[in-house]
Amino acid sequence: MYTLLLTCRASFSYFCPAMIDQQTIDRIMDAANIVDVVSEFVTLRRRGVNFVGLCPFHTDKTPSFYVSPAKNICKCFSCGEGGTVVHFIMKHEQLAYPDALRYLAKKYNIEIPERALSDQEKQQQDDRQSMLIINTWAQQYFSSNLLEHEEGRIIGLAYFRERGFREDIIRKFRLGYCLDRRDALYQEAIRKGYQHTFLEKTGLISVYEDGSIHDRFRARIIFPIHTLSGKVVAFGGRTLLKDGKIAKYVNSPESELYHKSNELYGLFFARQAITRADRCYLVEGYTDVISMHQAGIENVVASSGTSLTQGQIRLIRRFTSNITILYDGDPAGIKAAFRGIDMLLEEGLNVKVLLLPDGEDPDSFARQHNASAFIDFITRNETDFIRFKTRLLLDQAGNDPLQRTTLITDILRSIAVIPDNIARSVYLRECSAILEVDERILLNEINKIRLSSKHSQISPTPPVEANHHAPSLATEGASSLQTNPATANFEPFEKALVRYIIRYGNHELYNYSSENTIEKVSLSVTQYIRHELEADDLTFHTPLYQIIFEEALAHDKTEGFDPSRYFLSYPNDTISRLAAELLSDKYSLSKVHFRFREEETEADKLPLLVPKDIFALKNAHIEHRRKQVLTLLKDAQVLNDHHRVTELFDQLTELDKFKGYINKGLGERIILKM
């Protein structure tokens, strides 16, 4: 858990705007009025204490986008988008967190002081900036060659025109050409004052052992590769020579700027279209993307001929959960891509597959059809991946029983990684019908696959000796209550407690007189949750929630600490967005409702609600451990291991006893309402 927490913290630091100090972030958050900002993009009307309008992030026919001026947050109760004013600008303008802060700072005339950098940081920043400047210059150089140089026009531009690309599309994607000379780019770059070191670091030149220098992309048409924010970080070059000894494509090498596994070609041009359509089309090559754009289909990206990576999948998930993969009909290529598609399923994406007619690829098909005809073809012919894979492998296996057994296992492995229980159940039922195999048999196999993939072996828990005294779960019961976080879902229960921490963390909840003194001791909501978790040796299994919990504890006794405000302006997008979600309320009662009676708020009921949800979390741990023991018990009974059966029955008895103590403790707990 500790290692996972450190990893999570490290990933947060990557997204955290280190150059903007917390004091400045607070000033921006205080100044930015969310109603004013949202009103620039959405027509709002007042509804009670809130404002409501049509959501800008999905096709909204009835107003579902609520803005709370009191909390300075927004929320769509249809598609779920929302957050603070910073999150709104990030989503609407497709900006990174620090850039959204700068957008708001500029709007409200707030100066952002940059902190002093260390010498090493300055050097790293300078090197990165120098590489970006050189790549920008190189892109302009390549484009100029293509459009203005005689060789570029005769060879490169003629090729693009032969492919049917219009000049506006060529300029949009900033396509180019590298001259057929050994070091033309290098000589021009040196003449312009660019340093040899950065030309080599970006991979624009190759330096050989004998000291000779060659342009990496010599005699190739050029496809610049942009980041999500539009910066050129790499290039792809395609040769037009029909020489089998020369690689058809050459790409920029990995560098401080460019990590191939974290980039998708065309995403910079597609991001807004993907958001509007709530769907991403995935193709293989550069020209597939360009041709589809020219046909009017802009929500398309390319994996650039590589297998999908987690980094690329996370990029897609930032904009949509729906993806359609377009194939050119080559069965070998499709089977090679199965692993990447399984990764998409594992991330919870809804994956569909479109098989284009024989001899067609997305590039050629897009050149023959306009947007409406292409999209109509996709709509009529796309199918979800599990059905597609089942039918494809079934056709290949024929009536061979051994091949059918292998394909069934392969298909079940794909179904097993789907995180949604309902979707997994639907696919299982369909596969049972298609494969003509009993659904219960398939379900049993999937459960085995999921169990083995999550943990290779559930370590048996030693039996707990009988004790006539009420045990403490933190002592005798600890071994039985401990669970493997990879095999359980405690997230909903932990989220409920985190919600109390963010909303009411510093509220005084529980007071009592100490045994050794007449002075009263009080516990805040956060302190009380810590006390209850520590009593049973529990912690948050969700790393994000653990970080919030630790942050709240660290500041709980700070005078004037407001957890809601603190986490809303937290310098990490994930945490601040979660805080906004947990602070969102769709409706608020009007003043008329309370004219003749006193308002009863959630804060008034905390002494009952917080212990109840703590109990729910503890109960979830016990129930999960019971399921583990029952699974082991079933195996032991099959093996006729009578000694092991007895041990496991004893453990079940102890777990039931613990559950009884928790129920009894909850009923007897006295909390004095302040």
Residue 118 token pair: 């260390």
Distance from the Cα of residue 359 to its chain's centroid: 36
pLDDT in tens, 379-430: 998 888 888 888 777 777 777 778 788 888 888 888 888 888 888 888 888 8
Cα gap 654→205, rounded to integer Å: 69
Cα gap 512→607, rounded to integer Å: 13
Residue 132 CB coordination number (10 Å)? 17
Q: Given the structure tokens 């897609």, which residue do they identify?
A: 316
Cα gap 516→476, rounded to integer Å: 27
pLDDT in tens, 484-507: 444 457 888 899 999 999 998 888
Q: Give the domain ranges of the chain.
A: 20-107, 119-258, 267-452, 478-585+599-668
Between 484 and 67, residue with greater pLDDT: 67
Residue 515's alpha-carbon distances to 124, 170, 512, 528, in angstroms, are 59, 80, 9, 18
Mean pLDDT, residues 465-474:
34
Cα gap 581→663, rounded to integer Å: 31
Q: Spell 438-467 as b/e; 16+ CB within 10 A means b.
A: eeeebbebbeebbeeeeeeebeebebbeee
Mean pLDDT, residues 247-272:
89
pLDDT in tens, 95-138: 888 888 988 998 888 888 766 667 776 777 788 889 999 999 99
Of 38-52, 557-571, 633-647, the range with the highest mean pLDDT is 38-52
Between 229 and 52, residue with greater pLDDT: 52
Least-confidence region, from 80-94, 312-326, 398-412, 584-598: 584-598
pLDDT given for residue 539 in this prediction: 82
Cα gap 229→224, rounded to integer Å: 14
Between 262 and 142, residue with greater pLDDT: 142
Q: Given the structure tokens 């570029």, which residue do they identify?
A: 152
User: CB burial class (10 A; 0-12, 13-18, 19+) of residue 244?
Assistant: exposed
- Candidates 296, 326, 288, 267; CA nearest to 163 is 288
Residue 385 CB coordination number (10 Å)? 24
Alpha helices by DSSP H, listed for 417-524, are 421-435, 439-454, 478-481, 491-504
Between 407 and 147, residue with greater pLDDT: 147
pLDDT given for residue 192 in this prediction: 92
Angle, CA of 129, 131 and 136, to the nearest 5°? 95
pLDDT in tens, 276-296: 888 999 998 899 999 999 999
The CATH class, in words, for 20-107 is alpha beta
pLDDT-based confidence at residue 6 (cuts at 50, 70, 90): very low
Residue 280's alpha-carbon distances to 146, 226, 271, in angstroms, are 30, 17, 9
Three-class secondary structure of residue 46 per DSSP: strand
Contact 506, 524 (CB under 8 A): yes
pLDDT given for residue 427 in this prediction: 85
Mean pLDDT, residues 594-614:
72
Mean pLDDT, residues 210-236:
91
- Does residue 235 register a pLDDT over 90? yes
Cα gap 608→602, rounded to integer Å: 10
Cα gap 578→331, rounded to integer Å: 43
pLDDT given for residue 16 in this prediction: 41
Three-class secondary structure of residue 198 per DSSP: helix
Pick the CATH number of 267-452 from 3.40.50.300, 1.10.1060.10, 3.30.420.10, 3.40.1360.10: 3.40.1360.10
Q: Mean pLDDT of all residues in the chain? A: 79
pLDDT-based confidence at residue 233 (cuts at 50, 70, 90): very high
3-state DSSP helix/strand/coil percent for the chain, to nearest 5? 55, 10, 35
Residue 231 token pair: 């910066």
pLDDT given for residue 469 in this prediction: 35
Cα gap 25→43, rounded to integer Å: 27
The number of C-alpha atoms within 13 Å of 42 and in the hemisphere containing its C-beta is 28
Name the DSSP letter for residue 24.
Answer: H
- Does residue 157 register a pLDDT over 90? yes
pLDDT given for residue 173 in this prediction: 96
Distance from the Cα of residue 374 to its chain's centroid: 29
User: CB burial class (10 A; 0-12, 13-18, 19+) of residue 543?
Assistant: buried
- Does residue 540 register a pLDDT over 90? no
| Dihedral of the alpha carbons of 572, 575, 578, 584, in degrees to the nearest 10 | -80
Architecture field, domain 119-258: Alpha-Beta Complex (3.90)
Cα gap 56→76, rounded to integer Å: 9
Beta bridge mates, 134: none
Between 670 and 647, residue with greater pLDDT: 647
- Candidates 560, 576, 558; CA nearest to 568 is 576
Contact 613, 493 (CB under 8 A): yes
Between 284 and 590, residue with greater pLDDT: 284
- Candidates 519, 496, 499, 495; CA nearest to 507 is 499
Least-confidence region, from 330-344, 447-461, 592-606: 447-461
Mean pLDDT, residues 575-602:
65
Between 638 and 87, residue with greater pLDDT: 87
pLDDT given for residue 521 in this prediction: 62
Between 536 and 542, residue with greater pLDDT: 542
pLDDT in tens, 79-91: 888 888 999 998 8
The number of C-alpha atoms within 13 Å of 65 and in the hemisphere containing its C-beta is 22
Beta bridge mates, 250: 237
Sequence-ordered list of residues with C-beta below 8 angstroms from that of 556, at least 6 positions apart, any chain: 505, 506, 524, 526, 527
Residue type, 513: S
Contact 586, 46 (CB under 8 A): no
